[in-house]
Chain A
């Protein structure tokens, strides 16, 4: 009835913006979700993988923290990036880390990237009727040492990709990656395989562009580079406004 209609209006596309504009009397119910912003990106190469995220944590018009990265290292070959509702990100990563330990203790080996992805899908679907409001992207090396990226939706649908952007600026970044890494919609172009240096430079440029146009992305960029030597981190400053 009318309660549903009113709350649907408050939960428009940009729910977080409407709550702060005066659009007439609006009845608020307690919402267990909040949108904390942030962008995550992952790229898979021939023998490497990159997972990058900005470090801004915001809510509505305010910034909670400028130093809250969204990449979490799981194993020596896998890093996960989570954006969306920060509370669910923290709980979800705790659950994943606990399950990794359980697997390590019962099977005496680390989980592979593909196995972590499959497990995360069932964890997310386990809360199909009260989902984790998290957009996940896993980046890592598969059993053969090739780069792998797995992208998820909030309820656990996933697939393996070469590159994927998630979070608040994903709609801006994904077409740019389609063009630069996937060579889509370009004619007469030589498709050279992506090197690590070129990929890192591309990720930095892409995040600089995202920080220009998306208010929830900025402050600093953290890139986790996964190679057979392990996981290396690089930090670069971004716009702070």
Chain B
């Protein structure tokens, strides 16, 4: 149609050439957008700059389109957030606030930033809302296909590599996705659970004061948890406990043992191409504040309650200082059994509770001061020192 040619409508669709630099494993999916799905064209999967310009006749739109740079859009997409994820002996904690802001306006005070991908993997998303929503859907689809083809779940590191490869063609465009993949690798066999418990007991034993009675309590508790516990493991626990200098090695051993088979994992993937592995990852405008709280309170041997409290506190402090984070806090806990979600909590109540606590503390301090002054008066002259020490 004449009008279609003048406007260059559908031109970008026709010029899509197959993406040849992606590995062949996935290659066939990306060859042509119309191959697998007739009407809903996934032509957005190919960024516009890749289109071949050889055969294109100059049209009204193409000359302006190529020179349109992202920041000429008259609207802003949503950014600004605090999300965090960390691993510890009993799994992974993923936490995030729920505010989606758009320059100065809060577009949505109750957005969900942590999305489950499958039973043992959740993803914390931050960046542009539409990009995160869509890439999370694409990742879920690819992981499900992998699981159907290979009869096992893709590991967290594998999922991170997959997402990174899928985002790579869009490096340089204004797709903005910063995702933290939090999950538990490996099959949940009895053996895996046992080994996790054993390593957990070793860690707890080493970190306490090397007291034989305490250790025997731990191992007694351990035997209550599990049906069978090897004598050999008990002996090894005792010898390790008696050598507190070996504690650092044990930390590394614990993590590397997890690295072999299974265990908690947290990975960061960014649309710039950055991919990070670690123990604690926090993303967003509120992440410096969250890191401060997390670095202070994180230990490998935390209990679940301690870890949940730490994550909650980190998000709470970040929402207090950062203008672009706030409203509620979402919390997920992933173990070998799968993910569990804690009820969404409104932080407004927490602020009021904290204010009440502060008020009470001030009152108590006031009372103590008065009591001390009262005592000094009764004593008579008293020392100069006691007055100064007050």
Contacts and interface: CB of A to CB of B under 8 A. Distances in A.
Interface of A: 4, 7-8, 11, 15, 29-33, 35, 99, 102, 119, 121-122, 124-131, 133, 153-159, 171
Contacts of B385: none
Contact of B44 (A8, A30, A127, A153): A127
Nearest to B40: A122
Interface stretch (B16-24, B104-112, B147-155): B104-112
Nearest to A129: B48
29 contacts: A4-B69, A4-B71, A7-B72, A8-B71, A15-B74, A30-B64, A32-B64, A35-B74, A99-B39, A102-B39, A119-B40, A121-B133, A125-B44, A126-B44, A128-B130, A128-B131, A129-B44, A129-B48, A130-B65, A130-B68, A153-B129, A153-B130, A154-B75, A155-B128, A155-B130, A155-B131, A156-B134, A157-B130, A159-B111
A112 B343 CA distance: 30
Interface in B88-136: 102, 105, 107-108, 111-112, 128-134
Chain A binding site: helix, strand, loop or mixed by DSSP?
loop
B47 interface: yes
Q: What are the 4 A-B residue pairs with the smallest beta carbon separation, nearest first?
A: A157-B130, A157-B129, A155-B130, A156-B130
B72 A125 contact: no
A33 B77 CA distance: 16
Contacts of A126: 41, 43-44
Nearest to B12: A130
A153 B77 contact: yes
Chain B binding site: helix, strand, loop or mixed by DSSP?
mixed
Contact of B74 (A121, A130, A133, A157): A133
Interface residues of B, number: 36
B41 to A, nearest CB: 7
A128 B77 contact: no
Nearest to A185: B348
Nearest to B104: A171
A157 B72 contact: no
B211 interface: no
Nearest to A154: B75
B28 interface: no
A32 B74 CA distance: 11
Contacts of B107: 153
Contacts of A131: 73
B78 interface: yes
Contacts of B128: 155, 157
B34 interface: no
A159 B44 CA distance: 21
Contacts of A33: 73-74
Interface string B177-205: 00000000000000000000000000000
